[in-house]
Homo-oligomer: A and B are copies of this chain.
């Protein structure tokens, strides 16, 4: 895995088309045979879309009991219940706490009577994707926060955050996905240290921009060491949704992709696992 600052340097040097070709190559090189076919097929698939999209990138981690989980929650349980040998078909029973895996926080997760995930307007689930990287800073400081200046710097380069966008933050934490202890990064006192949104940036996005939601590659919109859920409250309190534990944010451009959020639709969902795809 490249260190985040190397990825950032490479990204800056490549044209958008060059970057996208690079992505396809990376996917093919980095994954299993079955998944390599994904990278290869994604280009022909996207051509069929006819919407000017050339590629599909999966922003979702495989949901397994080995993923890091926020301390309040338990890992997913996947119990084989029917088998082809015994029953003629194969099926499992799945049990999870809603906020595990690559998942959505609906406004109702923190705000009484706010919309649950199953009731979010469907057009909010298909959105322009803005990717803001703080990975260089987070590599040196695990308590690093997205600031208003980070958003403003993104806008200087890419224009105003589009109406209805999802603003996703790449902190580099996805590189720790295979080592849950390093992911949670607890100190001797048990306090976690993971990057997140500052309250000011959360308020700015919630109030000064017209977004659908935000995303991050850590387990929480707030920093791990947060005493209160200030970023959650600023964003969910304004009716925005969050997506946590996102994957592959280095494989999409900072601007110009469209995100499709396969949000949970179980009744009264405070959130839940999502399948998140990017069309680029």
Interface set of A (CB-CB < 8 Å, partner B) = 34-35, 37-38, 41-46, 48-53, 56-58, 60-65, 72-73, 76, 78, 81-82, 84, 87-99, 101-102, 108-112, 115, 118-119, 121-128, 162-164, 229, 258, 260-275, 277, 279
Q: A51-B53, A164-B48 are in contact. Are A277 and B97 (CB under 8 A)?
A: no
Pairwise interchain contact A126-B45, C-beta atoms closer than 8 A: yes
Q: Return the contact of A269 from the options B48, B92, B266 (Cβ within 8 A).
A: B92
Pairwise interchain contact A49-B266, C-beta atoms closer than 8 A: no
CA distance A266 to B82 in the complex (A): 17
Pairwise interchain contact B97-A96, C-beta atoms closer than 8 A: no
Pairwise interchain contact B37-A121, C-beta atoms closer than 8 A: yes
Q: Do most interface residues of chain A lie in helix, strand or loop, or is the interface mixed?
A: mixed
Report 27 cross-chain contacts, Cβ distance below 8 Å, ordered by A residue: A38-B122, A41-B121, A42-B123, A43-B123, A45-B126, A48-B163, A48-B164, A50-B51, A56-B125, A60-B265, A62-B118, A62-B266, A63-B264, A63-B265, A64-B267, A72-B87, A78-B266, A84-B111, A84-B112, A89-B109, A90-B109, A91-B109, A94-B94, A94-B96, A122-B277, A125-B277, A264-B273
Pairwise interchain contact A270-B91, C-beta atoms closer than 8 A: yes
Q: A84-B110, A271-B91 are in contact. Are A122 and B58 (CB under 8 A)?
A: yes
User: Which residues of the partner chain B approach A97 to less than 8 Å between Cβ atoms?
Assistant: 81, 91-93
Q: Which 8 residue pairs of A and B lie closest in terms of their CB atoms, listed nearest first?
A: A262-B262, A51-B51, A45-B123, A38-B121, A262-B275, A63-B266, A64-B267, A42-B123
